[in-house]
Structure 1
Amino acid sequence: MGRLLSYSGISTKIRAMQSKLISESEIQEMLQFTSVSHAAAWLKRTPEYAKAWADLDETSLHRGQIEKLLKASIFKDFSKIYQFANPEQRKFLDLYSRRYEIRVLKEIMTNLFDHKSTDAVDVSPYCDFFRRHSKLDLDRLTACTTMDEFINALKGNEFYVPLSRIQNHDTALLFDYGMALDLYYFSMIWNVRKKLFSGKDLEQITTAYGEKFDMLNLQFISRSKRYFSMAPADIYALLIPMNYKLKKEEITALVEASTREEAQQIFRKTYYGKKYDHLSAHNLEEFYNYMLRTTLEKASRKDPYSVAMLYSYMYHKEHEVNRLTIAIECIRYGVAPDEAMQYIRNN
């Protein structure tokens, strides 16, 4: 009963928000338009965006502006949920919000590596969110002109240590800095989950993130061998340092496999190869989003009064924004609706 009471208010709020999310059939309807302005006008009429976009002139909106508006809706929804959350639920939301901080840090670092002014990073979609939910000083970070200056500006913040370790390597690439942030975030989640959660919440967090990390490792092993011919030692250095259903010896065998056929045979014997018999080592990227989505949907349906409901909604909201962004881009370049849906379904 206590569990039901603690989640009843936020569960009702999320169900109301979820009913406004854009469905696949609605995206197919939007793809029939031949101009970005017509698509924007259509979005203005949907329950999800009607109120927030009511005062906008769709005829003057270009693709970049629409993408920023869509991104801003993610942070607005997060803040709505946060307001309804109790202290226990906010523990998860605070943990989850690190992904948004890392997203912005990566955008700033990309500009620094491209020798562009970091003033070009438009933080407007994030400003309100960072003011409420983050300790990062965006004004200071976006004023930096070098990576050394950027990393020094993070002193005292949790992201300073993982980035400063990469800073010591003269050959460090943008990829290395981005991977350092990702590995820090993934490791932190896995290490603190038992301290923050218990019972059903702990079980669902472990399942959702455990399968996510396993699949990301499988994807990385597949891509690094298929596209980059990386040496095993280099692959090990970049894997997420945790295991769920994927055993250490299975990871070793996959990394050390000398042929694609050998890797496929090894993969079929893993938990994921047995559970998803239609899954191959070649279509892991397409399957990853499907698996994560269905895992969260099943968990939130099975126990709607749990942290899975929070994770599921934020995942689906971000998924919606990704799909709409791709749809707008396809409309802009005149991609046929059927072809556009293929790109959208893979995300």
Structure 2
Amino acid sequence: MLDNYSSNATTAKIRAKYAQLFTPEEYREMAALRTVPEAAEFIARSARFKEAFTEVDPNTIHRGYLEELLYRENFETYIRLCKFQGLDKEPFFGFLIRRSEIECILSIINRINSSLDRTYLSDLPGYLIKYLSIPVMELSNSQTYEELVAGLKGTRYGKVLGRIPVREDGNADYTECELRLRTDYYAELLEQADKEFGGAVSDELKTMILREIDCRNIINAYRMKAYFGFEPEEIKRRSLKFYGIGKKNMERLYEAADAEVMMDMVNHTIYGKNSPDTDNIEVEINSVKIRRLRHYLTGSTYAPVSLYAFIQLCDIDVSNLVTIIEGIRYGVEAAAIEAQLITL
């Protein structure tokens, strides 16, 4: 166990990895490329992904496999950092594995609801399987929601999903499943931050986690207002019940007359401070999120805080790379691609 959960070696290793993330200038250079092989070659030359491309030819790699390679390197970086100095001995550090399990379960639910459940096997990330605590291969064969829940018996996920009523068509509401699984995930994460660490480590972790949830809630609330015209009470029902800026402040955003008014209100919170001038809600909110994550990563001496912040930054980095790859694939102009990227 790390002494007081602080380790110069661990935080130094994480910061060295952080220095390998792509810069805005590198995103801009990559967005100007015109073919996916060119983009693959650009990524393959980077310090962050050089080893991942050791046995891969960037000139012939399939776009889908290229993107999987990026996600896999993110996950394997997390595994390597967790094993360094035994971080993985504490339950909290399983956060990305648990998040991956939820994504797998939600994918299976979506395919069951769409009558495409059997095809899940073809795109199951193989590198995940040995780390998961659930029998995902067997679960992917579930023909109904009830079969899936039965296969999850004895797990937290089975308990959560078992409380959701099945509709007349035999399926369960996907949005409700996602909401309850993510609620349980964050509740466990916040509890672990309290029990396993305490003091300043716990305070920093909980603040970071609650701000992550705020960003998710704000983005989802905006979409519900702008694209679906949901009423405030429905938005509240569909949102996670954890608050970094406080319940009253968040619910004021939900109660805004429309999406435009809501965003004007957001701009007067910590999530609008020094945000970029853009009409893209995800870019605006997540750009502010990046600033806070970088603050925690470079300012904290605690390994749990540094690792949690770093993995979120890795997620954003790969999301940007995938956005660029997809933009190049469809012939989108470089400026339009850049406008979709989440940077400072």
Q: TM-score, normalised by structure 2?
A: 0.86
User: Match of 2:163, as an amino acid?
Assistant: R
Look up the equivalent residue of 1:331 and give its one-letter code: I
- Do 1:119 and 1:143's aligned partners in 2 also have CA atoms closer than 8 Å? no
Structure 2 residue 324 is matched with structure 1 residue 327: yes
109, 134, 147: which one aligns with 2:145:
147
Contact 2:90 2:196 in 1 (8 A): no
Match of 2:156 among 155, 158, 171: 158
Please tell me the residue identity of whatever aligns with 2:115: H
Alpha-carbon distance, 1:73 to partner:
0.8
Aligned length: 341
Q: Residue type of the partner of 2:248?
A: E
Corresponding residue for 2:19? 19
Helix, strand or coil at the partner of 2:228 = coil
Distance 1:345 1:251 in 2: 23
Gap change, CA 1:306 and 1:48, over 3 Å in 2: closer
- The one-letter code matched in structure 1 to 2:237 is A
Q: Which amino acid aligns with 2:14?
A: I
Would you say 1:237 and 2:240 are equivalent positions?
A: no
CA RMSD for the aligned pairs? 3.1
Distance 1:331 1:221, change over 3 A: closer
Matched, 1:67 2:67: yes
What's the CA shift for 1:155? Answer: 0.9
d(CA) in 2 for partners of 1:7, 1:130: 30
> Quick check: 1:193–1:202 contact (8 Å CA) kept in 2?
yes
Deviation per CA, 1:266-303: give whole Å up to 9, x if none. 6677x537x727699x8653332122211121122222
SS of 2:230's partner is coil
Amino acid at match of 1:315: Q
Q: What one-letter code is carried by the residue in structure 2 that aligns with 1:94? A: G
2:23 and 2:127 map into 1 onto residues whose CA distance is: 27
SS at match of 1:344: coil
Q: Larger deviation: 287-296 or 257-266?
A: 257-266
Does the C-alpha gap of structure 1 residues 263 and 288 become closer, same or farther in structure 2, counting only changes over 3 Å? closer
Change beyond 3 A, Cα 1:46–1:216: closer
Q: Which amino acid aligns with 1:223?
A: R
1:135 alignment partner AA: S
Query: Given residue 80 of structure 2, which amino acid in structure 1 is its aligned partner?
Result: K
Contact 1:10 1:84 in 2 (8 A): yes
Aligned mates of 1:32, 1:145 — CA distance in 2: 45
Change (3 A) 1:259 1:75: closer
The sequence identity of aligned pairs, in percent, is 22
Give yes or no for contact 2:275–2:285 (8 Å, CA) kept in 1: no
Question: Is the counterpart of residue 305 in structure 1 residue 302 in structure 2?
Answer: yes
> Is the 1:111–1:117 Cα contact (8 Å) retained in structure 2?
yes
User: 1:76 Cα shift?
Assistant: 0.9
Instruction: Tell me, in whole angstroms, the C-alpha distance in 2 between the residues paired with 1:34 and 1:87.
Output: 42
After the TM superposition, which residues 1-347 of structure 1 pair with which residues of structure 2 at under 5 Å, given as runs? 3=3, 6-87=6-87, 90-122=90-122, 125=125, 127-132=126-131, 134-170=132-168, 172-246=172-246, 248-258=247-257, 271-272=269-270, 276=273, 284-345=281-342
| Structure 1 unaligned residues grouped into runs of 5+ | none
CA distance in 2, matches of 1:18, 1:172: 40
- For 1:277 and 1:342, the matched residues in 2 are separated by 17
Q: Using a 3 Å threshold, how does the CA distance of structure 1 residues 148 and 36 change in structure 2: closer, same or farther?
A: same
Distance 1:262 1:69 in 2: 41
CA contact (8 A) 1:112 1:145 kept: yes
Larger mean CA deviation between 236-245 and 3-12 belongs to 3-12
Q: Is the 8 A contact 1:296 1:312 kept in 2?
A: yes
Letter in structure 2 aligned against 1:285: E
Cα distance in 2 for partners of 1:221, 1:332 equals 31
CA distance in 1, matches of 2:110, 2:299: 41
